[in-house]
Amino acid sequence: MSENNAINPADLREDYQQGTLSRADLDPDPLTQLSSWLSAAVEAKISDPNAMTLATIGLDGMPTARTVLLKGQDERGLVFYTNFTSRKGRELTEHPKAAVLFYWRELERQIQIRGAVSKIAREESEAYFFSRPYSSRLGAWASRQSETVADREALEARFEKYRKRFPDNGESDCVPLPDFWGGFRIAPQLFEFWQGQSGRMHDRFIYTPADRGWKIERHSP
């Protein structure tokens, strides 16, 4: 890109005017509120509404982040799946705490969640793994996630190797769950619900644990 055509990020601005958020709008249970906003994102036909940025503590002490997909939610917390030997898998094993961020630009909304992380039971991972498309189950075996790969052909050769090893016979368990793959659960310790507002006067509400239920406080933008 030539210097004359270079984009100056400081010139990029947008005034948020999609909606407001008040204390009266919020459910006492932050997981219920999360479900409500997630449903609104689905209804708005936002692409990958369950996508969330996952931030972890790196093995070198530096933070790292990437996008993962929320695949389960209940009173115990939020679940996503990954290769346990991947960078994020090793980071979460070493430092079992994380933050996630949902961002729905079309609705001018964000949700940040922080909490402790633990692996889910293998039976839960199996139930989800067997519900995945055949090619996705093979991909879990073929990808040595986060490791260097020589080229695309080498990656496809590994996929073909496991396609021959686990042929599709129409059964959900024709591809077994790898020992190195499964789910992590984030047990929330903080929620922040953010609604964009004009003039950068955004609405922000923080949920933190209280003696009974959750305490909800408005924070300055």
Instruction: Kindly calculate the radius of gyration of the chain based on its CA atoms and give it in whole angstroms.
Output: 20
Secondary structure E strands in the chain: 51-57, 63-69, 72-74, 77-83, 97-104, 109-119, 181-195, 203-209, 214-219
Is 142 in contact with 161 (CB distance < 8 Å)? yes
How many whole angstroms separate alpha carbon 207 and alpha carbon 23?
A: 11
Q: What DSSP character marks residue 131? A: T
Asked about 200 being catalytic, the answer comes back as yes
Q: How many CA atoms lie within 13 A of 18 on its CB side?
A: 16
Measured CA distances, 120 to 42, 54, 196 (Å): 26, 17, 34
Q: Which residue among the candidates 200, 204, 212, 218 is catalytic per the annotation?
A: 200
- Which token pair is 56? 């972890």
Q: Which residues pair with 217 in a beta bridge?
A: 206
% helix, strand, coil for the chain, step of 5: 30, 30, 35
CB 161 within 8 A of CB 127: no
What amino acid positions are annotated as catalytic residues? 200
